Structure 1
Amino acid sequence: MNDSPRRKELTRQAAQLFVQEGFDRTTVRMLAEEMGIKSGSLFHHFRDKQEILAAVIEEGTRNALAIAHAALESCDRDSEARLQAMARAHLETLLTDRNAHVVALYEWRRLDDDARAHLGHLRDAYEALWETVIDEALAAGLIHGDRFLVSRFVMGALNWTVRWYDPEGERSPEELGRELVAMLMAPRG
């Protein structure tokens, strides 16, 4: 994949348009107008609209993985700190790359089979990080339940924040992450 700064900027602009209009309603002409280029020039950077969608999702997922890895590397090793670090990191992706995150959530099903196969390993790697942290929290007795259900519940709750969370509001990502994790944790006796 071409990682030129111009392509990255075009990818960010496409993400914004996909969020506003939806992938299906976004035309190549609309993308070119948003990007300030001619429709034909768009194909200098991307083969087709499908490749643009894949680029948006790939960049967003790579950024989410980088933020999550950095959060885990900089936190304490205890399972509660790691769970909170992952929740905070997930929320931070909404601040740093909200449009790509929203596109990945809502437009994944629009990827063609080849793009889905290519990007599946990134999504799987992100989910595997979560599963490791959740396994640690389960083993430590911080949370209870089936790992599959807990991970889907946690990811669903965090992903839904794209609909209601206001980064300018009263809670920082760290505070919100801490509160959400506290809701999951088993009562300490």
Structure 2
Amino acid sequence: MTLENASPRRKELVGIAARLFVETGFDRTTVRMLAQAMGIKSGSLFHHFRDKQEILCAVIEEGTQRALAIARRELAEADPRPRARLHAMARAHLETLLSDRNAHVAALYEWRRLDAASRERLVPLRDAYERLWEQVIDEAIAAGIVTGDAFLVRRFVLGALNWTVRWYNPSDTVGEGGRTSEDLARALVAMITRE
């Protein structure tokens, strides 16, 4: 979301759109549905956005910016050892994914719906986030606590973390055995590292 468009109302509308895209899917979500959920007239929606494509781009951009900020903060505060940095990234990813679920589910499942201009805008953000993972996993491999092809390790780790949106419900702690996102991050690091 560009700074000139970062009004509180627009951010609120982006959150509503993210929820609808997850519940209904981008293709099946109409402008009328968006406007109704937002409590505005269909024409008023275009005061905030050019079209539905721009709304999807804003949903993914805002979520990715938050994920990047959280990951950078966690890494800055983490112990410099590779295992601790890997744990910090896993915890940051889960925190982002589970606290801002709709934006991230929309990004995971609706990325293919972005037009070329939106992808061009969002790819640098996505790449910046993935570079953090690349750096942390490369450090873990160099330290000998993770083995394997770095590219595949990144894909498997991110795939496992992203899949938690399908099975983990942070409000259902009884059904999940009382596990927190911290517990999940610790478990993931334990599974992929060597002592």
- Using structure 2 for the length normalisation, give the TM-score: 0.94
TM-superposed deviation, 1:29? 0.1
TM-superposed deviation, 1:142? 0.6
Could you tell me which residue of structure 2 aligns to residue 59 of structure 1?
Answer: 62
SS at match of 1:102: helix
> Does 2:169 align with 1:166?
yes
TM-superposed deviation, 1:94? 2.2
**Distance (whole Å) between structure 2 residues aligned to residue 150 and residue 74 of structure 1:** 24
Could you tell me which of 175, 184, 190 is aligned with 1:182? 190
Aligned residues: 187
Could you tell me which residue of structure 2 aligns to residue 151 of structure 1?
Answer: 154
TM-superposed deviation, 1:27? 0.2
Could you tell me which of 46, 51, 57 is aligned with 2:49? 46
> Does 2:17 align with 1:14?
yes
Could you tell me which residue of structure 2 aligns to residue 120 of structure 1?
Answer: 123
Structure 2 residue runs of 5 or longer lacking an equivalent are none
**Once the two structures are superposed, what CA deviation does each residue of 1:116-145 show, in whole Å capped at 9, x if it has no partner?**
011000000000000000000000001000
Q: Are the equivalent residues in 1 in contact too, given 2:98–2:165 (CA < 8 A)?
A: no
TM-superposed deviation, 1:95? 2.8
Could you tell me which of 23, 27, 33 is aligned with 1:30? 33
Q: Are the equivalent residues in 1 in contact too, given 2:82–2:140 (CA < 8 A)?
A: yes
**Once the two structures are superposed, what CA deviation does each residue of 1:76-114 show, in whole Å capped at 9, x if it has no partner?**
000000000000000001232110010000000000000
Q: Percent identity?
A: 71
**Distance (whole Å) between structure 1 residues aligned to residue 156 and residue 59 of structure 2:** 25
Could you tell me which residue of structure 2 aligns to residue 138 of structure 1?
Answer: 141
Structure 1 residue runs of 5 or longer lacking an equivalent are none
Could you tell me which residue of structure 2 aligns to residue 96 of structure 1?
Answer: 99
What RMSD in Å do the two structures reach over aligned CA positions? 0.7
Q: Are the equivalent residues in 1 in contact too, given 2:97–2:162 (CA < 8 A)?
A: no
